[in-house]
Amino acid sequence: MTIHHKIDAKTAELIDEAIGELPVKLGSLAAKLGVQVFRATLPAGISGEIKKIGEDQYAIRINRHETVERQRFTLAHELGHFLLHRDLIGDGLSDDALYRSKLSNSVEYEANRFAADLLMPRNEVEKLLKMIWVSEDELIQYASKHFGVSAQAAQIRLGI
Ligand SMILES: [Zn+2]
């Protein structure tokens, strides 16, 4: 699967491997990509940040006071910045609770899109949408557990 045109073949392979088992093991994927991840107490209103810590070396910090599902989305979002926007990160950037940073809204949208694609792979979403014997609420709850995301993120992704 091609998750994004900016992603090289080797990285795409690592991502494919990661999404082969749900919920996606984000920590393990980050480690394979060479990114250090820390759960930390961040300034109020900050969900995550990515910082340059050396020559082509990056670390991601996730606000540990937010829900686990939210932390997963934040990590996936920051990995999106790492893979797609490394040239824009500079020394680092912080994302607030609405995933706004010093970068443009369209760049932030792209990171959110990447996160959704990574956590909730499209072919799996399509499979779930065929579960017509369950109610929409049940489907959202099921998807939320299946993907390890918030009900809200699942609902947006399912488009229901
Ligand atoms: Zn961001």
Query: Cα–Cα distance between 41 and 63 in angstroms, integer?
Result: 6
Query: Cα–Cα distance between 139 and 30 in angstroms, integer?
Result: 29
Delimit the domains of the chain by residue range. Answer: 9-119, 120-160
Centroid of ligand 1 to alpha carbon of 160 (angstroms): 25
List the one residue out of 40, 60, 41 whose CA is nearest residue 50: 60
pLDDT in tens, 139-155: 999 999 999 999 999 99
Report pLDDT for 39.
98
Centroid of ligand 1 to alpha carbon of 101 (angstroms): 6
Q: Region 97-117: what's the mean pLDDT?
A: 96
Q: State the chain's mean pLDDT as an integer.
A: 95
Centroid of ligand 1 to alpha carbon of 134 (angstroms): 34
Q: Which two tokens stand for residue 35?
A: 């990114």
Centroid of ligand 1 to alpha carbon of 108 (angstroms): 5
Report pLDDT for 31.
98
Residue 126 has pLDDT above 70, yes or no: yes
Residue 135 has pLDDT above 60, yes or no: yes
List the one residue out of 28, 45, 46, 117 whose CA is nearest residue 37: 28
Centroid of ligand 1 to alpha carbon of 50 (angstroms): 9
Q: Which two tokens stand for residue 71?
A: 């932390």
Sheet holding 36-40, edge to edge: 36-40, 57-63, 46-54, 92-96
Report pLDDT for 37.
98
Centroid of ligand 1 to alpha carbon of 76 (angstroms): 10
Centroid of ligand 1 to alpha carbon of 129 (angstroms): 28
List the one residue out of 32, 31, 48, 28 whose CA is nearest residue 40: 48
Are the C-beta atoms of residues 97 and 48 closer than 8 Å to each other? Answer: no
Report pLDDT for 133.
85
The three-state secondary structure class of 137 is helix
Centroid of ligand 1 to alpha carbon of 94 (angstroms): 7
Q: Region 31-50: what's the mean pLDDT?
A: 97
Centroid of ligand 1 to alpha carbon of 128 (angstroms): 28
Report pLDDT for 89.
95
Q: Which neighbouring-strand residues pair with 57?
A: 54
What letter does residue 42 receive in the DSSP assignment?
Answer: P
Centroid of ligand 1 to alpha carbon of 132 (angstroms): 35
Residue 1 has pLDDT above 60, yes or no: no
CATH number of 9-119: 1.10.10.2910
In single-letter form, the type of residue at position 72 comes to: R
Centroid of ligand 1 to alpha carbon of 81 (angstroms): 7
Are the C-beta atoms of residues 30 and 75 closer than 8 Å to each other? Answer: yes
Q: Region 93-118: what's the mean pLDDT?
A: 96
pLDDT in tens, 2-39: 567 889 999 999 999 999 999 999 999 999 999 999 99
Distances (CA, A) of 16 to 51, 129, 143, 146: 26, 21, 19, 17
